Structures are given as C-alpha cells and as structure tokens.
A and B are shown apart, each in its own frame.
Chain A
C-alpha cells in the first residue's frame, strides 16, 4: 500500500515524482487523463493528485530517465509532435508532462494500435491523434503547428531521415528532439552501438547531439538520443559539429 509521503517531487519537472523502492527509485507522473490508466500500469492517488508509474520496461523515455539521462523533459505548456505513438503509452506520459496548456500531436500509421490511441485521446484533453505516415509530413501539415519538440519512436531503417523531414516542417528554431533508436531495425549484423554512433553523426549536421545512451537492460539494442537544434544551424552546418558538449546534454554514461 503506497503512502503518499513516499513520493518525492523532482527538480526536473513539476509533474514528475520519484519514489524509492527496493533497489532503485521509480518514477511517477502526475496524470491529466482520467482513470483507469492507459495500459494497466500501477497508479496511486492521494490529496487530489493521481500519479502513474512511468515504467522503464514499457516506455523508452522512462528507460532513459532510469538510465540516468539528465536532459530536458518536455516542459509545461509546450507543443510536441510524437511520431510513432502506437497505442499511446508513452504519448500519454508526454501529454501529462506538457500539461493542460500544452499539446501532443500523436502520429501513428498502423490501424490496429490507432483505435487504442483514439480512446486514449478521448481521455487526455491535450493528446491529439493523427492517422498518417510519418514519412509524409505533408499529410498532416494542415493539423500540426510548429512544435517545441519532436519525439520519435519509429522502428524503421530510415528513422533518421524521417526525423529530419519532420523537423523541416514543424520544429521551431530552438526546438529539441528525443529519439528512441532501434538499432536492429536499421541493419542486422552491425553492432548496435555503431548504428547509434552513425545516426548521431548523421544528425549532427542539423542538431547538437548528445552521446547515444543505451537503454539496456530495459530495451535491448535500443539507444536514446537527445537533440537540440542549434540556432545557427538552419542554413549552414559547421557550427553544429560541437557534439556532446551542448547545453543539458547527457554527459556521462556512454556505452
């Protein structure tokens, strides 16, 4: 029986709470949506707040936090474009983080999880579902305004290219991007870490890129990238080469 006093607020985000458990702290996010929780995660309610467990095995963003990523989370009031929302597990957490004044535009192409995404959107006032292929941003350019950040979780070999194309249409000048790279869907037979490095290099033309963070043991062969669009990078690239030393990039823990 969790007691509310065990939940501690974190410095990073007003909606993110932590709770020490047996071996490591767990993270919890105060929810905007109505219960029951989206996908059967643990939850706890007290004093008018309801928090949901941000399970690192379920969500790659949660895994990045659990692995010590210290970059900026989606902030209150921001608009985010979420590519590859599937049935909306992580998307609903991002919606919680941006709060009632923020928006999450969740793009998913596959029909079967999309039905569940719609029902999640019914319960989250700031989660907007879009049925479209993230490879073709023209299909949803009518509905998505410029955004402060893009979250990309698409297991496709051309995921880097997909991110670039969407950033051209939607990412604000100082926008950020969080990328969950699935190395095994790029090419087999190459060490996953090498894929992550290559992707980081490819993106360094337009973004300041933090060192790829391995999401093991929560997600095998997955890497998390934290990108910042540097102000000067919109036309000329050279200034963007200062890799890892960007603001708020995850420093330690390469792998």
Chain B
C-alpha cells in the first residue's frame, strides 16, 4: 500500500511521495506559529497523490494542516520518523535558531496569559514585595533618630520612599485579591486571598492543587524537610484567615481544621466550580468560636 510521509524539520518540510523517488525538501518559512498552512509546493504534491495513498505525518500540528486540505492523515511511528530524519541531512542554520527562539517566546507568552499563571506570578511578586517591605520597616526601626541634619534629611526621603512602597504593596494586594477571587473563589473565601494564591503558587498548578489532600495542603509552603520524627507542622495556612482570632495555644488545631476545609474548597474550585464557600465559612467560624471558648467541637 502506498504511504506518503510528511515531516516538518524546523523551517523545512520533508515529503516522501511514494510515486517519486527520494525526498522532496521544501522551505517552510513562517513566523513563530504551529498552525501554518502548508507551503504551496506541498499542496501541489498532495494534490497529485491518488486517493488511496495513505498519508503519515510527524506531528499533530502537521496532521491538522493536512486535514484542513481535506485529506486524512495519521501519525507516523517514532521509529519511522527517526529513520527518515536520519537519512536526510537537514542543515542547521541561524534561521532555525531564530525561529525556535521566536517560537519559544510566543509559546511562553501564550502560556503566561493563562489566568492561573497570572495568579501565580502575582502571588510570588506580592510575597517578594511583602518581604522587602518588612525589611525596610525593620531597618527603619533600627535607623533611629540621628541629630545630624544630613541624616535627618535622608531619613525623610527614605520615609517618603517607604510610603510609596507601601502604596505599591496595597495596589498589588488589591490586584492579587481580584485575581484570586476569579481563579479560586471558594478557597479565597475560606482561607483568604493571600493564602489561597500562595497555595496555588506553591502547588505549582491548578491540577496539582486539586489532587492534594488536607495533610499535604497543611504543610504546603513549610520550609523544613518533611520527616516522620520531627517534620514541619504548619505552612502557608498558618497565616490563613481568622488565625489571629484563635488563642495561640490552639492555633495548631485551627490550622488542621482549616486545611481540612480548604481542601474541600480547593477541589470545588478545581473540579466542580460549585459555590461551597458559605457552608465552609460557617463551619470555619464555628470552629474558631469553639477554640476560643476552649470546648471541643
């Protein structure tokens, strides 16, 4: 049975037409996109193929390109591809490099437009700014009040800078809150937007967050190495919503309860999208009250 083989090799298209001898190598100049139409030469060759000729292609994007022309195509096996590419030397040149770098840029930009990725980027940025701001504030406490007029003038300029920095942090937090409410509405209501965003950032992706169980979620963001004897007990959730309302001795208990509720909220956000937050918040607040009264609940 006659089989035609089409492979893309960077900025070139390789075609083995069973009716002709050897390979046809066509230039396939295009921008950084994978959904390019086939070059005109290839369309001509495909048009010449008889209807019974089967077409094998190297990749999904190439298959889509062939099927847009109304021909059916199937994926070639790995061994076929490897053998074929080994027989035809395709020169590597500066164009190929430019093409791949542009393609990488385009793919990266596209991936970074994903709302989850935006939220992760914001969460990391907010964490970084928060740390930097904390450093500045602590340094300001130690700086003291110098009698020297130059020092005083400097301290004034520095204070103005801190105000600006604080304002930047507030704006960033507001942005983060909006993003978190969009991406993880339930989790945000249960643990707060900052913790919700950081949990996602630490988990790495929405899917990973959805797979996590509560014991793992509770430790997420802890810096110590896990170990059965004396591993970490708390992570990001130790700064979760309403933690400050709980007496210090009971905060560990609250962190565990919060993790149990958070995991339900996270799964709802990732999988079902159902609004489970009101009920979870009620349970959370009831837990806070009982911990404050010192009774078991």
Contacts and interface: CB of A to CB of B under 8 A. Distances in A.
Interface string A130-173: 11000001110111011000000000000000000100111111
Interface stretch (B47-55, B100-108, B237-245, B251-259): B100-108
Nearest to A168: B78
Contacts of B100: 128-130, 143
Contact of A170 (B59, B82, B107): B82
Interface residues of B, number: 32
A118 B79 CA distance: 30
Interface centre among A111, A118, A121, A125 (most CB of B within 10 A): A111
A111 B117 contact: yes
B152 interface: no
Contact of B10 (A117, A142, A173): A142
B92 A129 contact: no
A139 B75 CA distance: 12
Interface string A30-72: 0000000000000000000000000000000000000000000
A103 interface: yes
B85 interface: yes
B58 interface: yes
A82 interface: no
Consensus secondary structure, chain B interface? helix
A131 B111 contact: yes
B112 interface: yes
A125 to B, nearest CB: 7
A4 interface: no
A168 B75 contact: no
Interface string A94-117: 000000000100000001001101
A131 B108 CA distance: 7
A137 B10 CA distance: 15
B9 interface: yes
B111 A145 contact: no
A145 B108 contact: no
B86 interface: yes
Contacts of A114: 104, 108
A141 B108 contact: no
B294 to A, nearest CB: 38
Residue of A117, A131, A139, A142 ringed by the most chain B CB atoms within 10 A: A142
Given A122-B101, A142-B61, A111 B81 contact: no
A131 B75 contact: no
B90 interface: yes
A146 B85 contact: yes
Contacts of B78: 137, 165, 168-169
Contacts, number: 74
Contacts of B213: none
Most buried by A among B60, B78, B90: B78
A138 B60 contact: yes
B160 interface: no
Which of A115, A122, A131, A170 gathers the greatest number of chain B CB atoms within 10 Å?
A: A131
Most buried by A among B75, B79, B104: B104
Contacts of B8: 142-143
Interface in B67-100: 75, 78-79, 81-82, 85-86, 90, 92, 94, 96-97, 100
A131 B104 contact: yes
Interface string B142-180: 000000000000000000000000000000000000000
Contacts of A118: 101, 104-105, 108
Contact of A103 (B58, B81, B92, B101): B92
B199 interface: no
B86 A142 contact: no
A180 to B, nearest CB: 21
B51 to A, nearest CB: 27
B101 A128 contact: yes
B262 interface: no
A142 B63 CA distance: 12
Q: With a 10 A CB-CB cut-off, give which of B9, B59, B100, B111 has the most chain A CB atoms.
A: B100
B15 interface: no
A168 B82 contact: yes
A121 B104 contact: yes
A170 B117 CA distance: 31
10 contacts: A79-B92, A111-B112, A118-B108, A125-B97, A130-B104, A142-B10, A142-B58, A142-B59, A143-B103, A145-B90
Given A138-B60, A169-B81, A170-B82, 14 more contacts: A118-B105, A125-B94, A131-B108, A137-B78, A141-B58, A142-B62, A143-B8, A143-B103, A145-B9, A146-B85, A146-B86, A165-B78, A169-B78, A173-B86
